[in-house]
């Protein structure tokens, strides 16, 4: 009897650990980053409840595809490209950065298909 209880408890612990591991991977974007994304998305798509729902879906989809550190890297590159001078040109003329941006663009395209179509 005790053995069955311990086995059941072990199964529950393993299941809970797997759920926590999946949650941490799927939810590695800080709340502030998600809010910033939704605010910018709503600025482009309208200040309506429907836009908020679609933009929230978009950031959730993006987060499920692209880890937060790669999202930050791509957003940083895009931000630096908007500058002027030699520092900005480094970000415009370096081919290795294109992969980061392409990955972000693919994730954004998938989010648009899932949430806005």
Decide if 94 is inside a domain. yes
pLDDT tens readout for residues 63-94: 999 999 999 999 999 998 888 888 787 787 77
pLDDT tens readout for residues 1-31: 565 544 544 444 444 444 444 444 566 999 9
- For 28, residues 6+ apart whose C-beta sits below 8 A from its C-beta are 63, 67, 68
Decide if 7 is inside a domain. no
Query: Token pair of 77, please?
Result: 């590159």
- CA separation for the pair 66, 75 (Å, rounded): 12
Tell me the residue length of the chain. Answer: 117
Decide if 19 is inside a domain. no
- pTM for the model stands at 0.71
Decide if 18 is inside a domain. no
Decide if 44 is inside a domain. yes
Question: According to the model, what pLDDT value does residue 87 have?
Answer: 76
Domain that holds residue 33: 29-116
Decide if 5 is inside a domain. no
Decide if 13 is inside a domain. no
In the chain, the number of structural domains is: 1
Decide if 50 is inside a domain. yes
Question: According to the model, what pLDDT value does residue 4 have?
Answer: 54
């Amino acid at each position: 009897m005790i053995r069955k209880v311990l086995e059941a408890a072990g199964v529950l612990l393993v299941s809970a650990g797997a759920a926590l591991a999946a949650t941490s991977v799927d939810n590695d974007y800080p709340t502030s980053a998600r809010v910033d994304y939704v605010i910018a998305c709503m600025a482009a798509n309208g200040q309506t409840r429907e836009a908020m729902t679609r933009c929230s879906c978009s950031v959730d989809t993006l987060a499920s595809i692209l880890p937060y550190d790669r999202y930050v890297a791509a957003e940083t590159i895009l931000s630096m490209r908007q500058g002027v001078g030699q520092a900005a040109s480094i970000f415009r003329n370096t081919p290795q950065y294109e992969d980061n941006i392409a990955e972000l663009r693919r994730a954004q395209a998938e989010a648009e298909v899932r949430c806005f179509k």
